[in-house]
Structure formats: C-alpha cells, structure tokens
Chain A
Amino acid sequence: MEIGKGLLSSRRVLDLTDEKGFLCGKILADLGADVIKIEKPGGDITRKLGPFFHEASDPEKSPYWSAYNLNKRGITLNIETKRGQQILTKLAQTADFVLESFAPGYLDDLGIGYMKLSQINPRLIMTSITSFGQTGPYSNYKASDIEVMAMGGLMYITGNPDQPPLRISLPQAFLLASAHGAAASMVAHFHRETVSEGQHVDVSAQACVVWEIANAIPLWELNRNILRRAGSFIAGRWTGTKQRLLWKCKNGYVLFYILGGAFGVKTNRAIVRWMEEEKIAPEFLKNFNWNAFDMATQTQEMQEQIEGHISRLFMMFTKEELYNEALKRGIMLCPVNTCEDIIKNTQLKDRDFWVEIIHPELSTSIKHPGAFAKLSETPLNISRRAPLVGEHNLEIYRDELGLSDAELNDLICGGVI
C-alpha cells in the first residue's frame, strides 16, 4: 500500500452513524482517511436541528452537521431496502472501516452486521458506538445524552449541592464515545496492519463517561467516601477540605485554586506578592511558609480565610487583566472564555488553529476549529466542507461502482438513494 502524507491516506471509511458517532469519522478523516458519510435519502435528521447559519432553517446550514462532518464526502443510501443492502455490501468489500451507531442488532437484522460483512472482507474493522455497548443487561436501554451522563457518573458530581445534578448543556456523552471510538479503531487498525485481521470494536458511551469522573471510584473503594456535587469547588482531593475553583472578577469569571506542596508554591507566592503590590496583603500571608503548606493538614477555616483575600484581589481586575498578569507572573489561573474570547485568543491565532472553510453555497467562508494535534511528519489536513445531501452520489455510484444512468435513475425512483 502506498503511503501518502496523511496517516490514514488511501484508507476508506463508511460512516453510517448518526450524531452519536459523527466525531469518530471526523477524527479518522482528519488523520487522512477517505470518509464517506452515508445518510438516508433526504438527509440525516441532525441536519434539521438548529441553530442554523444565519438563523435560516435549512438542512445545508446546520453548524452541528458542519462541525462533525467536515472533511467527509457524502452519499445517500437507504439500507433498509434490499438493493441498498447490496450496495452497502459492495462498498464494504473494499472499505477499511465501517462506523455505525444503531441500536444493537439492527444491522444484523438487515443482514449487514459485522458477521456478514467480515465474511466478505475479513480485514474490515467495524466500530459500533452505542449508549451501553452491544452486550450486557442495559444494552437495549434507551438513552439520550442526559441518561448516559447520569449512568456514567458525571452528573452526580456536577452542580450545586442543594440543586439537582447537572449535565453539560452541549451534549457530550457521545462525543466522548466517538473520540474513544476513533482511538480504539486505531488500535484495531494497527493490529490489522500487522496480521491482516479485522475485528468488531464495541464502544460503550457509559463507560467512556466513567473515564471522566476522576478519583470517584477509588475514593469509594478505599475510603467509602462518595464524591458529591460541590458547586464551583473541588472536593475529595485532599482530606476533607474543598477548594474554590470558580472566582468572580470585574467582568466575568476566572478559574484558580490553591494547591499545596511543591506544585503550589510558585503560584501562591506570586499571588501574595501581587497582593502586596496592590497593598491588600494581610499580615499573616506576607510571611506565610508556602513550602510547609500541606493540603492534607489544611483546615477549611484557614482555606476560606485565604480564599477571602484572594477573592478581593480578583475583584479588582477584569478576567483579561488577571490572565495577562497570570501569564507574566507564572500564576496558575485562566479566564472563563466566551466563544468571542476564544475566537480572539492570541495563542490559538499564533498556532494557526482556525481553518476557514469555504462554503460556495453560502458564498462565504466559515471559521471552524482546526486540527486536534500537530504532527511534524504527517500533519492533519482539514479542508473539505461537510457534504451536502447526496453530494457525492455520482462520484461513488457512477464513477466508482460503475452504475449506468438508467440504474441510477431506478435507485432514485425506488427511494434507494
């Protein structure tokens, strides 16, 4: 196989997923694969979810679609028809990966599940992304993002103690599962390149959320301590104290917390020095022995006393001023950025993070987040805007599979493409 510039160049991915799996194919596409998004005729339902570009409801103008189908080609195919299944099977013969996020068993029932496709293409990797995985007592449970965030444990530790558990309002569970799905597919890919054997990669979104809950499991196992929601504080990290994370400033919020031991010394000293310059440093902090400051023996009372003084300092400045000083003084502090702040961020600009994607249909180019990694030898390439509905039908069905115009017409009339 010829090695092109991208890590997965000349690799073919058939992407049958809905929004539960879009990002998986996007990552493989960024790594150089030829990813073909397969939608049902008329287009994926996700295209109909707002918001839209320029707020006009139009399936070709969905930021969500655009964000996660960037860099893919797109065809339509009704895999619930016999002919559709034949065509998919034909495409799978030469594909390297098939990605899907249907309910467990759905593709098997259509006769195009892993067992079937792997018989005609033993090198094929099929990656299935579902809420709970293909097996186990919950595998047929119905779940949207909020259920998976709940069952995976992130919700229980997110939110204020006196309010309900919270999810992240931009759905995340299946993005986590998709990102993991891409990595696990690469593990299977490495194996396939070694011994020419494909396999089925079975991803559980619930289990991917479990990766996000820090030390909650060992905290329960070793100390019988259940990590609970603590609002804008960290809890369960150093004995019984909690540390404030989110702080108000003049025009918004910053993230900062007091760390003990060697990790915190520099920041803690710099903060006190800054207070001294502003003439608001209390006596007890001026000669504080930060080297001996140990979170394990810190009391909540002392913690809050120190935090009170820091909070006064932060309220004197804007988040931009605080961050600029943090950069200069080497203080571990970051602003809470809005989308506007992020788009203006100088670090991202300096690293050429953003890509301008040209949308001829909208007569404009649109800023998209760029590569997730910088590789010196095989850089990621993000350039193709997300496909329009059925945009590459001719390229695939006529030019590649060699279907005649009459056959294509039949497929269109039969609702297959």
Chain B
Amino acid sequence: MSKQIFNGINVLDFGWAIAGPLTLKYLADYGATVICIESFQRPDLLRTATPYKDEIPGVDRAGYFAYFAANKYSISLDLNKPDSLEIVKKLIAWADVVADSHRPGVLERWKLAYNDAVKIKPDIIMIRNSNQGLTGPAATHPGLGNHINGLTGIVNFVGWPEQEPISLMVAYSDYLVPHFAAAALIGALDYRRKTGKGQLIDISQFEVGLQLLAPALINYSVNGVEEKLKGNSCDYAAPHGAFRCKGDDRWCTISVFSNLEWQAFCNAIGKPEWLNDFRFTNLSSRKQNEAKLNDLIEQWTMQHEPEEVIKLLQKAGVAAGVVQNAEDLYDDIQLRERDCFWVADHKELGKFTHLGQPSRLSKTPATFFRAAPCLGEHTEYICRELLGMSQEEYDEYLVKGVFE
C-alpha cells in the first residue's frame, strides 16, 4: 500500500458517540493509527443503538457504530481499574494526539487532562470536544447533540409558518463539529512538526453550531429581528419547495430563481400558458401567489415519478432534485461513483457499507484500510505490538480484568 498522508501519526481516542470520533475519521482515513479506548463495562452509545445485524442486539452487531468507524483500532480497557491507567499512560506516551469527547471533568477525574498528559508527553496535542467548552458555568452540564439543536436555536429554522418548530431528528452539530475540529487539529499537527510544540484544543459544539447561523445572529444584533418559520419557501425563488410525486411518500424539489429559469420550467412541463398568466409573470407576483402556484405544480408532479421530473427539468436547465430516502442514497449512482461509501467484509456484520469521505483529493485519496473494529478487537495487538508488552505482562493484566 502506498504511503498515506498521516502514516506515523498516532492518535488515542477517549471519545464516544459522534462528534469526537468522527473528527478522527479525517486522520484515520488518511493513514493515521487511531485507537478507540472502549470498555465492555460501558460500550459506546452507538454500539447500543439500532440497527443491529438480524435485529439481534450486540456491541459488535451495531451498524450505527460500525458505519462511522472504518479504519480504526479498538482497545478495551476498564478505566475504573487502577492498573488500566498504567496502560493508558503508555498509550499517551505513544500518541501524538489525544482526543476526548466526554463531559469536562471526566478526564480530570482520571487525572488525564492536558496538564497531566504533558507530563507524560510534553509535545502532546490534546483535542477536547464538549457540548459547551471546557470553561464557563455550563461546562459540565450533561447532554447529547440533540440537545445542542436547542442551544444553537437551529430548531427555530425548521417548521411551517404559524406552527410549532420541528426538532431535527438528527443531532445536527454532532456531524458538523468534526469539519471544524479537524481543520484546527490538522493545523496543530503541522505546527507541532515545525515548532515541536503541542497544545490544547477546546471545541464547544454550541460555539461551532453558531457558525452556521451567523447571518441570523448578526441580523438580530443589528436589526433586532428574529427569523420566522417559513417552511420550504425562499425569498428569492418561486417556485421553491418539495412537491409530491407519484408513489408512496415520493417527493421532488424544484427551485426557480430567475425569469429565464421560469420560462424554461413552464416550457419543460408543458405549461407555456403560465408565462402569460398575470399571477406568475415575475418573482414578486409568483411570491404573492405562491400557494396557488405550488398547487398547480403539484397537480403536475403527482403524475410523475421524481426521477422523471428531475431528468426533464435538469435537461431544461432548471434546478430540481429527488428527495432521497436511505434506499435511494444507498443506490445513488453519483455517491457510488465518487466512492462516498466503502463496502467491505466486517467480522460480525458481513458485507457492510462504511461511510467514506465526501471529497476527493486528486493525489492522495482517502483509502479504506480495514472494517470497523469489534469492541476490543485490537487489545492484544496494541499491547503486544505497539506498546511492546511481553506475553507475561499482557496475561497479568488480562487476569486482573483490565481489558473488560
């Protein structure tokens, strides 16, 4: 296998769930050795959630965990057993990066916070992902990514006019934080290589989440205006929304910004008469009569499958998309062509689809090396090969129950 960008970079991950571990996907997919510290005593949240292979629960049968964990190693350590800390300290000495996404206070309790880690490895980079940062009155408040959707207020941008907001189902910032965190972390690795200096990176999911709502926050701070719920409408486009198509819960989106696009749209769907309809002649009249317009369009889309709609409209130069569900995405020829998913054999799951990278680097593409680890799959390898323990030493820890 050819040399990868982060070959030789060693990463130790205390993290769990999504934001922390997903940050390290950036390193693992480009060749770093990333070790997840896990424990049978307290398996990762994603190992205890659906889907399971054949719907039979089991830490190694959980697809949610495996989907995000390609290319990583797993060691099982019961950190409540004092002897395990000896191994952890050896691993910190081995590591270039220590990552954590527990609630602030947990690493401190184990005496493994940055100030402790630098005593073991003076140039360590430590990255800590938490809900609200390492400092401040709310730093130790427990919660998950779904709660952060409330703190950032992104929920206030999801819903229909005059109705309740709708909570996103997904923990939005959990999947967003990794991009920002990785940018900082990789920069810190480069800086360390040039200066020999490590550092502590403190990432607050709340603060990262606000980066994507900045225009609304600035608008409020200047004009005192709170955004209102507006469904799928857009001030600069009409039509703009999701339209029901033929089939069970099938939808397409259409967005028309300019008058040129409007002409192309009407001609493409065989309604040239709309071009002369005074209700729809320009954007402002279309916005005024948007509900009527949407009804008329839906009468047409309901006679077609969404794939037909987008083929027709894209050919005419009009933006349109299929509202894809998981099955559509799984079969999406564009995502497959771009290697967005990595299909490989997993010990327990069989042939399994892992998430890949959403971009392609022309000279050093991200590479699939190994399927997601089973819990503790590499415990012996890590102790014996990476830390150089003797068989006797390893067996001693084993007997003490350190690897449980």
Contact = CB atoms under 8 A, between A and B. Distances in A.
A180 B358 contact: yes
Given A187-B186, A253-B155, A266 B142 contact: yes
A164 B319 contact: no
Contact of A367 (B188, B218, B253): B218
B220 A373 contact: no
A138 B334 contact: yes
B320 to A, nearest CB: 7
Given A158-B166, A169-B157, 5 more contacts: A7-B191, A184-B359, A199-B361, A338-B153, A373-B201
Nearest to B136: A350
A396 to B, nearest CB: 25
A215 B153 contact: no
A133 B360 contact: yes
Nearest to B179: A179
B397 interface: no
B154 interface: yes
Interface stretch (A73-81, A148-156, A279-287): A148-156
A215 B66 CA distance: 10
B341 A255 contact: no
Interface string A184-208: 1111111101100101111110111
A147 B253 contact: yes
A43 interface: no
Contact of B166 (A160, A185, A370): A160
Interface in A59-85: 63-64, 66-68
A206 B227 contact: no
Size band of the A side of the interface? 35 or more
Contacts of B1: none
B5 A190 contact: yes
A351 to B, nearest CB: 5
B210 A141 contact: no
A112 interface: no
Interface in B169-206: 169-172, 175-176, 178-184, 186-191, 193-195, 197-204, 206
23 contacts: A8-B187, A27-B180, A31-B184, A144-B234, A151-B322, A156-B324, A169-B229, A184-B357, A217-B326, A218-B352, A221-B51, A223-B50, A225-B51, A246-B165, A263-B45, A332-B143, A332-B147, A335-B151, A339-B219, A342-B152, A350-B135, A373-B207, A376-B114
Contacts, number: 513
Contacts of A150: 242, 251-253, 321-324
B220 A159 contact: no
B242 A165 contact: yes
A176 B326 CA distance: 19
Given A332-B144, A333-B147, A342-B210, A218 B358 contact: no
A52 B279 CA distance: 28
Nearest to A337: B153
Nearest to A167: B232
Contacts of A177: 358
Contacts of A376: 114, 199-202
B160 interface: yes
B342 to A, nearest CB: 12
Contact of A370 (B63, B172, B207): B207
B362 A199 contact: yes
Interface string B223-252: 101110111111111001111100001011
Contact of A146 (B190, B210, B321): B321
Contacts of A230: 169
A132 B338 CA distance: 9
A372 B362 contact: no
Given A217-B330, A366-B222, A27 B183 contact: yes
Contact of A169 (B135, B169, B231, B326): B231
A168 B154 contact: yes
Interface in A289-336: 296, 326-327, 330-336
Contacts of B73: none
A211 interface: yes
Nearest to B4: A191
A378 interface: yes
A222 B142 contact: no
Interface in A86-130: 114
B325 interface: yes
A210 B334 CA distance: 12
B386 interface: no
Interface in A210-233: 210-223, 225-233
A378 B207 contact: no
A146 B253 contact: yes
Interface stretch (A235-243, A387-395, A405-413): A235-243
A207 B338 contact: yes
Interface stretch (B52-60, B94-102, B280-288, B373-381): B52-60
Nearest to A257: B146
Nearest to A263: B45
Contacts of B45: 263
Given A347-B136, A372-B180, A372-B207, A234 B169 contact: yes
B184 A201 contact: no
A238 B48 CA distance: 8
A3 B50 contact: no
Contact of A368 (B150, B218, B327): B218
Interface string B35-72: 00000001001101111111101000001101100000
A254 interface: yes
A235 B158 contact: no
Contacts of B157: 168-170
Contacts of A333: 143, 147
Contacts of B184: 7, 31, 372-373, 375
A248 to B, nearest CB: 8
A233 B193 CA distance: 46
A246 B46 CA distance: 22
B169 A235 contact: yes
A165 B335 contact: no
A3 B191 CA distance: 8
Q: Nearest 5 A-B pairs (CB), nearest first?
A: A218-B63, A207-B358, A147-B321, A7-B187, A339-B220
Contacts of A236: 50-51
